[in-house]
Chain A
Amino acid sequence: MLPQFDYIRPGSLDEAVARGAGDGAVLHSGGTDLLGCLRDGVFTADTVVAIGHLAELRGIEETRDGGLRIGALSTLSEIAAHPLIAERYTVLSLGAGSAASPQLRNQGTIGGNICQRPRCWYFRGDFHCLRKGGSMCYAVAGANQYHCIFGGDRCYIVHPSDTAPALVALGARARIIGPSGTRVVPLESFFVLPAQNVRRETILEPGELVAEVLLPPPGVGLRSTYRKVRARGAWDFALAGAAAALTFSDGRVNGGRLVLSGVAPIPWRAAEAERVLIDNPLDAETIRRAVEACVADARPMPHNGYKVDLVRGVVAETLRSLA
């Protein structure tokens, strides 16, 4: 059962920001994550501020610089089916299309998808864990098969989004609107590791919301893809995934990013692997070295050692598909 709360439908974006900054306020766009969290008592809310009707937050259109603006309320279905995104930013199209289920993709928004709370079953369940203000992370000595192998520190969640790794791989930025104005932040700097703050996953301050996501123009020779491994064919988060957006010139990789999903508390840039790839042809030897570079810093927990093998496999398959 949902807790009791006030529901506000603000008349403007400014009002939404003002109301969203209030104590105990949460924003409601697609609601696919929010309602589940409220129902399961993950957190509570005194005020639910609707933003799903705000036209400023909608729309997908090309920008003057040749990039793309994606309004935060764009649904994952819209993004997955958008021909321009499929053509120019394949990794994002695939990421959006592989999330959740058709029903959830019709309802869930890109803004919500990158701001969703972790799916850790201790966080979501009846456990007063560190991230909820408790004193321990139950995953450390518990059922940690779905937890992180990179970036864990006191808390070992994985970031659940399939679009966020794609956006980081593409070098996207988020335009954030809040009570003190607007700021534009690279997606890569948007997410927060447990070592920085164990209670939240993004840099958003109270009242701040993601208004839109800005994609740079696709680089020359860009090839991108997203591959996700999950426990079943649909309605599931990544056990591990790889979002690759690489640019090629003269048969060699000359730029781009490789970002892993499902293995770290944030979309995890495989920076060492990127260094291996750059200036090299994407051949078997480069891929082998990149794969090993991806897992060199992995710190598996007792029940998630398989993720090291899985990252190897999914990265190898992803890179081969771009070669």
Chain B
Amino acid sequence: MKHYLPDPDQIPGEAQPQELPPWGETRVVGRSLSRVDGYELVSGTAVYTLDLTLPDMLHAVIVRCPHAHARVVRVETSRAEAMPGVRAVLTASTPGAEIPWYFGDDGPTSRLFDSHCRYAGEEVAAVAAETVHQAWDAARAIEVEYEVLPFVIDEAEALEADAPAVHEGGNLTEQREFARGDVEAAFAEADVVLGGTFRTPCELHAPLETFVSVARWDGDRLTVWDSTQGVFARQQELARYFRLPLTSVRVICPYVGGGFGAKLSTGKYTVIAALAARMTARPVKLAVTREDSFLSEGNRPANTIRLKAAAMRDGTLTALEGEFLGSVGAYPSGAVSPYLLLALYDCANARAATTEVYTNAGRARAFRAPAFPPCAWALEQTIDALAEEIGMDPVEFRLKNLATVLQLRDDLPYTSIGLRECIIEGAREFGWESARSRPQQDGHLRRGVGMAAGMWAYPGEPRATVFVKLFADGSVNLNMGASDIGTGTKTVMAMVVAEELGVPLEQIQIEHADTGTTQYAPASGGSQTVVVSSPAVRAAAVDVKGQLLEIAAAELERPAEGLVLRDGQVVPIDDEGAAVPLAELRGLRQRQNIVGVGRRHPHPEGKIALPFCAQFADVEVNTLTGEVRVARLLAAHDSGRVMSYLTYENQVFGGMAMGIGFGLTEDRVLDSQTGKMVNHNWHDYKIPTAKDVPLEQTCVPIDPHDTECNTTGAKGLGEPAHIPTAAAIANAVYHATGVRVHDAPITAMQMVRLLAETRGD
């Protein structure tokens, strides 16, 4: 997760691991309960950053470079400055705007307004005005003279000696090699060797709420409402850009309308809003347009993956080799990952080489399991092909070769691994064997089934502090730093509190994602939110419970061990009739509240906790038109304990819907003549619709009862739900048609041609 989230191994451990016994049978956790903020979400009363209006607020817009590669020669702003309503015009030469810009931890690589524009859409100037219309009119009146430079948008061309240099020093950003065993010997000795070159598209995040910030200064203190996945990460970066102490920067985000990784890092729009607010002494809102979001606010880069694999006739996987090429775009980021290739299967001989390059295109950002779906696309199709070549069922072949330790980290053991059960239970629930041998109907529609496995690599950043406060009437306040990015984090955490304190969910209020009033939690990304924060929430609730039972024990003259909390009451286990409502405890009324503090314990020593999955797809291919219809999907996930069944299922279905987009419809298109994106809108960039997602989706949770990963037993779910979907669909398409599709997405455009070629048309 380099470039996107902190490396957990670099975080100093705490002296005292906090240990709570694992839950036995739970009363609340795991149930199907409605979201605690369901009413706000569906009634439209939830205030997202995009909805926010502050008194005296100005609106800012950004002037962007229309060229893929250019130097700004001159910016003429006088006409714009004189226009009605205009309160500030910002350019590279505006005092205070000369801010060095960081993309990652390796020092500044650009400026807030960089005169060297490296992609079409780069920020050149900004305007703040009384209305957003006035701001746009003024932005159009800014004249920018550019020296247009040669550009490169193709990853392979970027490596050629005479390619235009995106940055001084050339376009190669990173080359890495990983190897174990003797790959050459294994290939030489193998019964079967095969491979191919796979390509996956550049994918755009397209969250429903665009990228938006509202900034306000009170003296030297900056408050930013930001549509972000992590307020504390944003606070740190804003403090750096404005050279402020952390305490002077408050970042707030009650609701996020989707981020998918794109809202982890700070966008220039946020800093521009804050700068404009300081210049004008007015609150400033900057909402990036939908179209500009596509250009500038991140993507999952296209990957080209050349894969080679070998097996013995008995089904032993003996060698894996991959070459990965991808572009980070115009600025430092990540593009490719061989992780799955090196970790998912037990394979003694493996080698991977990665090459990442700069191109004149928007910068990549984290995107739901960043480079894992591309790797799964290539790997899982290759595994499928190997199984066929040796005449083995793909399920059986995978089961025969599952890794049991993390080979990438010196065979580090897992706290639990439910991958075998995911495959076995998934196949059983899916009806794999009968579907696999289902006869084809007459006509031009062909059915097929396929599957793919996956795992996720980020164990989480193990630090978070949570407060739980019990009021005198028995109601509860949960105060946590974590963001709920639409996944149901608040609901999950409230259920943890309810589990420990025996109060109904309606009695729990939540404050979250506000650096001014809540405590540190890592950003909601990398599938870490529940993993990191739920143990801290549990610890805080247990802290409250301990204090409360102490009070109750004294009042009821019974030992604390003989008391439980249930339905808002203290209940003696051996005399339930003597139960006392919390509000009637004198000691509680005397104190008025009980505050519990919970901290996330460190990860277990010498082991790693990661989630695993297997997904199954049933497709119908129209052999006349190349259309692929996904008829049914099934996901079997080992993400540890199911904390909240409905949000779990939501995550799985959402991840698979996104996988349908990756596998069948989505593809950023850059014009080769100009380097400009031609499909930066929701019509031309094809996100799947409700009609592209099957009605029949099944979620099969596999709980390995992991008591070592953390004190709630949950592993991450957000990213794994998305990793194998497209590959499973591709394998099903192959099963239906005999056509192995190497390039995602499997559009009708591509498929109709491949089918025609196969027929010899």
A contact residues vs B (CB 8 Å cutoff):
1, 101, 119, 121-122, 124-127, 138, 141-143, 145, 229-236, 239, 305-306, 309-310, 312-314, 316-317
Contact = CB atoms under 8 A, between A and B. Distances in A.
Contact of B686 (A143, A232, A305, A316): A232
B593 interface: no
Given A309-B752, A310-B626, A143 B683 contact: no
Contacts of B749: 145, 231, 239, 306, 310
A313 B624 contact: yes
Given A234-B691, A309-B626, A314-B624, A125 B752 contact: no
A310 to B, nearest CB: 5
Interface in B611-669: 622-627, 664-665, 669
Given A125-B678, A306-B752, A313-B626, A231 B665 contact: yes
B68 to A, nearest CB: 12
A309 B758 CA distance: 12
A233 B748 contact: no
Given A309-B626, A310-B752, A313-B752, 4 more contacts: A1-B136, A127-B676, A143-B672, A232-B688
B434 interface: no
Nearest to B677: A125
B248 interface: no
A125 B679 CA distance: 8
29 contacts: A1-B133, A119-B683, A121-B679, A121-B684, A122-B671, A122-B678, A124-B684, A141-B672, A143-B672, A231-B686, A232-B691, A233-B689, A233-B690, A234-B689, A234-B690, A234-B692, A235-B683, A235-B689, A236-B683, A305-B753, A306-B750, A306-B752, A309-B753, A310-B752, A312-B761, A313-B626, A313-B752, A316-B624, A317-B625
B692 A317 contact: no
Contact of A314 (B625, B673, B678, B684): B625
Contacts of A312: 624, 756, 761
Contacts, number: 102
Contact of A309 (B674, B678, B761): B761
Contacts of A143: 669, 671-672, 678
Interface residues of B, number: 40
Contacts of B672: 141-143
A228 B674 CA distance: 32
Interface of B: 66, 132-133, 136-137, 444, 622-627, 664-665, 669, 671-674, 676, 678-679, 683-684, 686-692, 747-750, 752-753, 755-756, 761
Contacts of A101: 689
A138 B753 CA distance: 24
A146 B178 CA distance: 41
Nearest to B140: A1
Given A229-B627, A234-B689, A317-B624, A121 B678 contact: yes
A124 B279 CA distance: 36
B362 to A, nearest CB: 15
A305 B750 CA distance: 10
A-B pairs, 10 with minimum CB distance: A233-B691, A313-B624, A121-B678, A1-B136, A313-B625, A234-B689, A309-B756, A306-B753, A233-B692, A309-B752
Contacts of A234: 689-692
A126 B676 contact: yes
A1 B755 CA distance: 44
Contacts of B673: 138, 141-142
B596 to A, nearest CB: 48
A121 B748 CA distance: 19
Contacts of B624: 312-314, 316-317
A233 B627 CA distance: 10
A317 B623 CA distance: 10
B340 to A, nearest CB: 27
B748 A231 contact: yes
Contacts of B761: 309, 312
A127 B68 CA distance: 13
A323 B595 CA distance: 76
Nearest to A229: B625
Contacts of B690: 233-234
A310 B625 contact: yes
A236 B686 contact: yes
A259 B674 CA distance: 35
A126 B681 CA distance: 13
B748 to A, nearest CB: 6
Contacts of B691: 232-234
Contacts of B132: 1
Nearest to B289: A1
Contacts of A314: 624-625
Contacts of A306: 626, 748-750, 752-753
Given A1-B133, A126-B66, A232 B692 contact: yes
A320 to B, nearest CB: 9
Given A306-B750, A317-B625, A142 B686 contact: no
